[in-house]
Amino acid sequence: MRSAAPSPEELRESRRWGTRGTAGATFAGQLSFEHVSRRFGKTAAVEDVSFTLKPGEIACLLGPSGCGKTTLLRIAAGIDRPDSGRLLFDGQEVAGPARFVPPEKRNIGLMFQDFALFPHLPIIDNVAFGLNSLPRQDARGIALHALERVGLAHYANSYPHSLSGGEQQRVALARALVPRPQVLLMDEPFSGLDQRLRESIRAETLTLLRETRASCLLVTHDPVEAMGLADRIFLMRQGRLVQAGTPEELYRRPADAAAARFFSDTDEIRGTVADGRVVTALGTFACPAQVRGPEALVLIRPQGIRRAEGWQGVEGLVTETRFQGDDVKCRILFKGIEEPLTALLDSKAAPPRGETAMFRVDPEHVFVFESASLQPI
């Protein structure tokens, strides 16, 4: 494989995908997990998980390493079996107490994290590998068309070792799609790519998935990636499903403090609950009914702390600044709060280190939870 750092040619090549709209479409399938659990010895990898991947939907299983994401993907693919619960494909049980359908009998594609290309086969034969029921010439013709769509037809007779990581990812994607699966499973498909390539390849992959119309369940530990790709996100923690919803729902209405922390950096302060409000050193905010007090944990996203006009707001001392282009990350010390808080300010509005200024907090970036909500995700 080539160097991990992309060359200028690789960056240009990453944008040369084939003609959009030419990928073969399929009839999207529905995948339902019903109270699925899986244990390895005394460890519960997955615990009573239920959700449905809708036809044509692109969804992300999101969470840190070891939370059960890949185990669910393996169960869906037929590589592993649940200890309890059922997996339904278009309403029919394919894994459960009554039935187990082997992987090759499910119209479900799987794209591995390491791409799993066969080093001894040319690229065209790697892509055609899943078409073994067709005559070889027909299979190679379909494979070549798929390679054209991902912009790699000129590599048809090359071998995997001669391709960059981004090119190997595109070959693996083409191979997963040529059998026209009703559901495509993808395990951390972009994690091995250089950051500079990742965004463009993700965007083209999303376009290609929309063309095929297949349902897609993608595993990732990156919340930014999940929000950029998914119609819905299934947030996992310690083998359990914590929250499900659209990217906006999970970002704006996290189920608990750990979920809020997972989607962005947060400042954390304490507040006093009174009459449906929480009073803090930075102001008074609405308090959810389920937070009874007397104390509450208040999470504030750095972009929620802003410069106030005139003398409105709360005075703070800027103890540290870090220029980040359009933004400046500031550490600000407020009266009544022991540790400085982090604020992300417009570079034109950020005061210099050592100065005091007035600040306000945008309630849209404030989240209030029970004071005991200290568990990490």
Among 304, 209, 220, 236, CA closest to 265:
304
pLDDT tens digits, 216-231: 999 999 999 999 999 9
Pick 42 or 11 by higher pLDDT. 42
Identical fold, 8-252 and 264-370:
no
This prediction has a pTM of 0.88
193-202 residue pLDDT tens: 877 778 888 8
Q: What per-residue confidence (pLDDT) applies to 12?
A: 52
Domain ranges of the chain: 8-252, 264-370
Q: Which of 289, 315, 310, 307 is nearest to 369 (CA)?
A: 289
The CATH code belonging to domain 8-252 is 3.40.50.300
Task: Give the model's pLDDT for residue 346.
Answer: 93
- 99 versus 349: the higher-pLDDT residue is 99
Pairing of strands 366-370, 295-300: antiparallel
Phi, psi angles (nearest 5°) of residue 274:
-155, 125
**pLDDT band at residue 119 using 50, 70 and 90 as cut-offs:** very high
Residue 25 confidence (pLDDT) above 80: no
Cα separation of 208 and 20, whole Å?
Answer: 8
Identify the pLDDT of residue 112: 84
Pairing relation of β-strands 305-307 and 295-300? Answer: unpaired
Q: In what order do the strands lie in the sheet with 305-307?
A: 305-307, 356-361, 314-323, 327-334, 341-346
**Does 113 have pLDDT greater than 50?**
yes
Homologous superfamily, domain 264-370: Nucleic acid-binding proteins (2.40.50.140)
* Of 293 and 51, the one with more pLDDT: 51
Averaged pLDDT of the chain: 90
CA quadruple 208, 214, 220, 225: dihedral sign? positive
Q: What is the pLDDT of residues 127-136, one digit of tens each?
A: 999 888 889 8
Asked if pLDDT for residue 208 goes beyond 70, the answer is: yes
* Residue 78, pLDDT score: 95
Helix (H) or strand (E) holding 211: helix 195-212
Do 59 and 53 contact (CB within 8 A), yes or no?
yes
